[in-house]
């Protein structure tokens, strides 16, 4: 940790809660203080003390092209000269909406907002209005932004009433949120058998990426689709992370399962703040002013982020993009797995496309209970040893590692050799 970062962090903590504008950035899960970053280019980041890192956070997913992609920079510079926001219709929001509708199988109409959280909270309200039902179902270990109704922790037992996941959320707000384990279709079936008629929606990350990356079991997503359709429950895929990352059409394209509503964010904004929710026309037409479900936003659809998003999606429509991401991501995953094996440390790599996690457990993570058996202390030690060697990983065992199109084979190979070195020094006792 360099001297300038250290002094900035001291100043920041006096005037910003925890010194950061989003909790995970404070390194609480991995220890030590965070570097302050000055510049990014491609797959690289430089901190204010001049240290260089290969970046696998990529701003938590948006930067699938890498930092400061020339086309994004060009478009933003060009647009800002004509003004950043009008609070009124502009042609770019029509063009980006068209690109979204043409790319994402389950979306016939889409509304832009300013964050993933806004997207999921809007989708929940719409689902409740459309179905006339109040109950929401989410999966334990999935994260959908800091929406009151979704910041719940599961109680003990397979199906539990949501418990407030943080102070400030009244119990009555989360009493209408039911929590079932991810990847457990029987638990959902049992819940729906009893209370199906009260449930407005099931919201799920089609590939869980907020407990580390946990892929859906074969048939799981199809099972969710079948059960919800049968009981008039809306299925919401939260594709804030997976959207435009796993395929141009996200997880719903990759797994060929179309939800009723989809939430988006991150990549869609080309690195600028964005969220979106969309779905079948008959549902989306309930949104004001077409319909009676209110939702609004001062900067929603502003030309600056719209044009950045258009530039982003145009880049991602180029042939071979996802094959290239698959190749470098598989190379990294295989390399990390062999590095852990070579060091004699129990670990497994879970990967879907350019999302992956090295779990410090030998048991395959299939849900929160199994993923949380991973050893966060080992992850913290690994994280710090990699950071000291110029590799910037997600500062938590329960986050995803993001590979971008800017990561070169050399950078991937350097990451693997660094991991082998870092892990070798970490011989520890028996698996926890
Ligand atoms: P935002 O409100 O942060 O734009 O999006 C919320 C959100 C919604 N849905 C999913 C599946 C998400 O992963 C997120 C936010 N992701 C976290 C990282 N796991 C953002 C990083 C942070 O909170 O600082």
Per-residue confidence band for 164, with pLDDT thresholds at 50, 70 and 90: confident
Strand partners, 359: 348
Token couple for 78: 């060009």
**238 C-alpha vs ligand 1 centroid, how far in Å?**
10
Q: Whose CA is nearest to atom 10 of ligand 1?
A: 144
Percentage of residues of the chain with pLDDT beyond 90: 94
Q: What is the pLDDT of residue 432?
A: 44
335: nearest Cα among 391, 417, 251:
417
What is the rounded distance in angstroms from the CA atom of residue 429 to the CA atom of residue 325? 36
Is residue 243 within 6 Å of ligand 1 at its C-beta? no
Query: Worst-scoring range by mean pLDDT, 28-42, 143-157, 260-274, 387-401?
Result: 143-157
Stated length of the chain: 432
Question: Which one is predicted more confidently, 163 or 23?
Answer: 23
* CA 150 to centroid of ligand 1, rounded, Å: 12
177 touches ligand 1 (CB under 6 Å): no
**What is the 112 CA–ligand 1 centroid distance (Å)?**
16
Q: Which of 143, 149, 243 to mutate to test the pocket of ligand 1 (most atoms within 8 A of CB)?
A: 143
Among 159-168, 357-366, 404-413, whose mean pLDDT is lowest? 159-168
DSSP codes joined into one string, 357-404 = EEES-SSPP-SHHHHTTS-HHHHHHHHHHHHHTTEE--SSTTS-EE--
Distance 116 CA to ligand 1 centre (A): 6
For a ligand 1 pocket test, name from 114, 241, 244 the mutation site with the most ligand atoms within 8 angstroms of its C-beta: 241
User: Residue 163: what pLDDT?
Assistant: 77
* Any atom of ligand 1 within 6 Å of the Cβ of 270: no
In whole numbers, what is the pLDDT of the chain averaged over residues?
96
Minimal-distance CA residue to ligand 1 atom 21: 60
Architecture in CATH for domain 70-316: 3-Layer(aba) Sandwich (3.40)
User: Catalytic residue numbers?
Assistant: 143, 238, 266
For residue 238, give the H/E element and its range.
strand 234-238
For the cut 70, the answer to whether the pLDDT of residue 427 exceeds it is: no
pLDDT of residue 425: 78
Q: Where are the domains of the chain?
A: 3-68+356-424, 70-316
Q: What is the pLDDT of residues 342-371, one digit of tens each?
A: 999 999 999 999 999 999 999 999 999 999
* Ligand 1 atom index nearest CA of 117: 2
Model confidence, pTM = 0.97
pLDDT over 80 at 155, yes or no: no
- The answer to whether residue 406 scores a pLDDT higher than 80 is yes
Tens of pLDDT, residues 5-34: 999 999 999 999 999 999 999 999 999 999
The Cα–Cα gap between 282 and 305 comes to: 27
Report which protein residue has its CA nearest ligand 1's atom 23. Answer: 22
Nearest CA among 62, 3, 68 for reference residue 36:
3
- CATH code of domain 3-68+356-424: 3.90.1150.10
Report the separation in Å between the CA atom of 145 and the middle of ligand 1, taken as the mean of its atom positions.
5
Cα–Cα distances (Å) from 202 to 69, 86, 396, in that order, read 36, 36, 27
Q: Is 145 in the pocket of ligand 1 (CB under 6 A)?
A: yes
- Whether 120 is in the pocket of ligand 1, judged by its Cβ within 6 Å, is yes
Strands, DSSP E only, in 83-133?
109-113
Q: What is the dihedral of CA 245, 249, 252, 255, to 10 degrees?
A: -80
pLDDT at 159 over 80: no
Q: Is the CB of 116 under 6 A from ligand 1?
A: yes
pLDDT of residue 398: 95
Determine if ligand 1 sits within 6 Å of the CB of residue 239. Answer: no
The SS3 of residue 426 is coil
Q: How far is CA 104 from CA 99, 229, 351, in A?
A: 9, 19, 22
Q: Whose CA is nearest to atom 18 of ligand 1?
A: 60
According to DSSP, residue 84 is labeled S
**pLDDT confidence tier of residue 430, bands split at 50, 70 and 90:** low
Ligand 1: residue whose CA is nearest its atom 12: 144
Q: Is 55 in the pocket of ligand 1 (CB under 6 A)?
A: no
Q: How many angstroms separate the CA atoms of 408 and 64, rounded? A: 13
- Cα 256 to averaged position of ligand 1 atoms, centre (Å): 24
User: E strands of 95-211, at which residues?
Assistant: 109-113, 135-140, 152-153, 160-161, 163-164, 177-181, 199-204
Continuous segment of H or E residues that includes residue 141: none
Instruction: Give me the pLDDT at residue 259, please.
Output: 98
Q: What pLDDT band is residue 378 in, cutting at 50, 70 and 90? A: very high
What is residue 429's predicted lDDT score, i.e. its pLDDT? 60
Report yes or no: 105 and 252 within 8 Å, Cβ to Cβ.
Answer: yes
Query: 80 pLDDT exceeds 70?
Result: yes
Ligand 1 and 143: CB distance under 6 A: yes
The span from the CA of 203 to the CA of 337, in Å, is: 31
Output the CA 62–ligand 1 centroid distance in Å: 11
**Residue 247 to residue 348: CA distance in whole angstroms:** 24
d(CA 174, CA 345): 40
């Amino acid at each position: 940790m360099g001297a300038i970062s250290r002094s900035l962090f001291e100043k920041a903590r006096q005037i910003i809660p925890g010194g950061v504008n989003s909790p995970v950035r404070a390194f609480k899960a991995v220890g030590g203080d965070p570097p302050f970053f000055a510049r990014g280019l491609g797959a690289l980041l430089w901190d204010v003390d001049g240290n260089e890192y290969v970046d696998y956070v990529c701003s938590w997913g948006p930067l699938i092209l890498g930092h400061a992609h020339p086309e994004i920079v060009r478009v933003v510079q060009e647009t800002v000269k004509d003004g950043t926001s009008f609070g009124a219709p502009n042609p770019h929001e029509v063009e980006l909406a068209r690109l979204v509708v043409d790319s994402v199988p389950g979306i016939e109409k889409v509304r832009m907002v300013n964050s993933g959280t806004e997207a999921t909270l809007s989708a929940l309200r719409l689902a409740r209005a459309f179905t006339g039902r109040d109950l929401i179902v989410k999966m334990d270990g999935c994260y959908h932004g800091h929406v009151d109704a979704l910041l719940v922790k599961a109680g003990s037992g397979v199906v539990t009433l949501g418990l407030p996941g943080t102070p400030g959320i009244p119990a009555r707000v989360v009493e209408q949120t039911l929590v079932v384990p991810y990847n457990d279709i029987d638990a959902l079936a049992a819940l729906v058998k009893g209370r199906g008629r009260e449930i407005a929606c099931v919201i799920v990350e089609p590939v869980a990426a907020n407990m580390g990356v946990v892929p859906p079991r074969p048939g799981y997503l199809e099972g969710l689709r079948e059960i919800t359709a049968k009981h008039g429950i809306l299925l919401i895929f939260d594709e804030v992370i997976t959207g435009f990352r796993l395929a141009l059409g996200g997880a719903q394209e990759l797994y060929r399962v179309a939800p009723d509503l989809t939430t988006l964010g991150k990549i869609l904004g080309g690195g600028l703040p964005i969220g979106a929710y969309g779905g079948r026309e008959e549902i989306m037409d309930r949104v004001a002013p077409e319909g009676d479900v209110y939702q609004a936003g001062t900067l929603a659809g502003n030309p600056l982020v719209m044009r950045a998003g258009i530039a982003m999606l145009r880049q991602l429509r180029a042939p071979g993009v996802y094959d290239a991401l698959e190749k470098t991501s598989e190379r990294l995953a295989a390399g990390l797995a062999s590095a852990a094996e070579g060091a004699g440390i129990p670990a497994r790599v879970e990967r879907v496309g350019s999302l992956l996690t090295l779990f410090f457990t030998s048991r395959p993570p299939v849900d929160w209970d199994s993923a949380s058996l991973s050893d966060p202390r080992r992850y913290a030690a690994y994280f710090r040893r990699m950071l000291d060697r110029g590799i910037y990983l997600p500062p938590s065992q329960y986050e995803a590692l993001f590979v971008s199109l800017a990561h070169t084979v050399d950078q991937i190979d350097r990451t693997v050799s660094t991991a082998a070195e870092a892990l070798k020094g970490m011989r520890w006792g028996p698996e926890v």
